[in-house]
Structure 1
Amino acid sequence: MTANTRATPATRREHRSLIIVDVQNDFCEGGTLAVPGGAAVAASIRRYFTEHRPEYSAVVATRDHHIDPGRHFAAAGTEPDYVTTWPVHCRAHTPGAELHPELGDPPLDAVFYSGQYDDGYSGFDGTTDADLDGDDGVALGDWLRGRGIDTVDVVGIATDHCVRATALDAAAAGFPTRVLLEHTAGVAADTVTAALEQMRAAGVELVGTVPGR
């Protein structure tokens, strides 16, 4: 799955942000909703961040942070369908919800918590308050605009779910958006293909290839 462009350095540091999506223990090997290659992508993001940090005026992370997400978790005694229902994951204030250690300890400018009381696929649904939704924290889009950011790069987990949703919302909000595919991990080939097509159709620039695809 090869996009039409190669990774090139960001050229307008004062206006660009890197968004690291949901690189959490439960989404990496050994977690309750592990994505193949998640830990490797966490390490690749760390290397990319170390090399390219001067090109970004802000680096932020999003985190799944489920308190009571309702039907997002499969009901007890039932199998998740992995489309609208999922195994229990990223429970608020549990080790599974923490950033993966392979990501290192990047000096993030902000962290945005999503999914407290809903699915929370997009980082643009998140706020800076871990335990409250809506008006009780600063939303990602508002935070970026407040700092003069007008362009974003997206990396993280999973290409076909939360990365896709975050990139689509970024583009819909008016931010020229790139997804750096080599720093993402996808769940399944067919859903990754559909996600790439959807993002491309929405005007998201796809850079590189998804590892293993």
Structure 2
Amino acid sequence: MTLDKAFKAALIVVDLQEDFCPPNGSLAVTDGRSIAPVINKLLQLPWALRVATKDMHPKDHISFASNHPPPNNKPFESSITISNPHNPDETQSTRLWPVHCIAGSPGSELIPELDVGHIDHVVEKGQDKRLEMYSAFCTPFLNPKIVETGLADTLRERDITHVFCVGLAADFCVKATAVDAAKEGFETFVIREGTKGVEQGDEADKKLVEELKEHNVTMVAVDGPEVAKVRDLK
């Protein structure tokens, strides 16, 4: 990790919402709720900014399998191709999911185990029914960009240099958020103990580490030197 004199770190807690957590979440990540204690301890560190993100979908969102005709409408199995509404040559293939995180529903709420009293800023995403949006920064379409949340500007306004990501799910929204943070020029890390993936196990972890590395994002340990740098700011 680059340890420069202007070191200012932000923690992004990605989508730690009811619908992504057992026992009742419609798109529950195995053991997703179990990461809350780790994240709460991290939130107590002297971050320059603490951000929570939330999926906030309309009922007719394109990612919901039930909004597509059979046979290509099986949650977790079916995929569709989405085109940039302003540039049909730019496309994205995405998996279909069960209905989840409907705006205003109990499933869209941050889990009560999360210490929201330490959260400085909340980013809501996924509100455009036409687009999938895993990242807390923007939709994947770039030519032109369709939706930006303003998170990059918020980080720059606080002079953030380093971004640490935790939350759900490691291999989807956490990964996309971390990758976009790196693209925006922040030195970026994912804290392993603070996240869980849809796919779990040693092979899934190894794959995720490699995918992150390809985009200049580093997987780190909660007790590693990267997080210690933040802890030492006290």
What TM-score do you get using the length of structure 2 for normalisation? 0.73
Higher helix share: 1
User: What's 2:64 paired with?
Assistant: 73
Query: Within 2, Cα distance between the matches of 1:69 and 1:159?
Result: 25
Q: How many residues align?
A: 190
* Aligned-residue offset at 1:42: 1.9
Q: Does 1:155 align with 2:166?
A: yes
Query: Within 2, Cα distance between the matches of 1:43 and 1:106?
Result: 14
Could you tell me which runs of 5 or more consecutive residues in structure 2 were left unpaired when the two chains were aligned: 78-93, 140-145, 223-234
Q: Does 1:32 align with 2:26?
A: yes
**CA contact under 8 A between 1:159 and 1:192: conserved in structure 2?**
no
Instruction: Map 1:15-94 onto structure 2 (within 5 A).
Output: 15-29=8-22, 30-50=24-44, 52=45, 54=46, 56-68=47-59, 70-75=61-66, 78-82=73-77, 84-94=95-105
Q: Which amino acid aligns with 1:123?
A: A
Which residue of 164, 170, 184 corresponds with 2:175? 164
User: What's 2:138 paired with?
Assistant: 125
What do the CA deviations read for 1:33-70 (whole angstroms, capped 9, x no partner)? 000111111232112223x2x2x111011111102563
**CA contact under 8 A between 2:43 and 2:118: conserved in structure 1?**
no
Query: Within 2, Cα distance between the matches of 1:191 and 1:70?
Result: 28
Q: Is the partner of 1:205 in helix, strand or coil?
A: strand
Q: Which amino acid aligns with 1:64?
A: D
Q: Is the partner of 1:19 in helix, strand or coil?
A: strand
What do the CA deviations read for 1:47-96 (whole angstroms, capped 9, x no partner)? 2223x2x2x11101111110256321002574213551000000001110
Q: Is the partner of 1:101 in helix, strand or coil?
A: coil
- Bigger Cα Rg: 2
User: What's 2:109 paired with?
Assistant: 98
Q: Is the partner of 1:160 in helix, strand or coil?
A: helix
Could you tell me which runs of 5 or more consecutive residues in structure 1 were left unpaired when the two chains were aligned: 127-132
**CA contact under 8 A between 1:69 and 1:119: conserved in structure 2?**
no
